[in-house]
Homo-oligomer: A and B are copies of this chain.
Amino acid sequence: MANLVSRQQFTIKWAYCDPAGIVFNSRFFEFFDWGTWILFERALGVRPPDLGATFGILGIPLVDASARFLAPARFGDVVEMSSQVKEFRRSSFDVEHRLIVRGALAVEGHETRVWAARDALDSSLIKSQPIPDKVIARLQGK
């Protein structure tokens, strides 16, 4: 089975670019975040703002993020971003984002996120929770 891959296309705006004329690095982490939300929407059929209520979680907070910058993206460039979950663990998972610009891989990103809910005994605590099998299956394209 192949993982579900969510693809998006968008254009680099002036506001994203720095004095070197290229996208400032922090913007890519906004793109990754959005990539994950859309991946989950496509896998689960749940709109992003409804994800928490649908699955009884607070969200999927980020605990680790990284990016490799291989080539710059410039104002007006069209970006093709593909996002997929590369690994599931009991209560966390890794998402990979690949951004193609002008036909070549420009940025590769990784996020580690947690399936998080309020603790059953102490609602002031947030705890990681086992990811439902159904969620995993859908993201694995099953």
Contact = CB atoms under 8 A, between A and B. Distances in A.
Interface of A: 13-15, 17-21, 24-27, 29-30, 33-34, 37, 47-50, 58-59, 61-70, 74-76
Given A18-B19, A37-B14, A64 B69 contact: yes
Nearest to A76: B49
Contacts of A69: 61-65
- Number of this chain's copies in the complex: 4
Contact of A20 (B59, B66, B70): B59
Contacts of A59: 20
Contacts of A70: 63
Contacts of A48: 14, 75-76
Contacts of A26: 15, 26-27, 29-30, 33
Contact of A17 (B19, B27, B50, B68): B19
5 closest A-B pairs by beta carbon, nearest first, are A66-B66, A49-B76, A26-B29, A26-B26, A15-B30
Contacts of A33: 13-15, 24-26
Given A15-B34, A33-B15, A74 B49 contact: yes
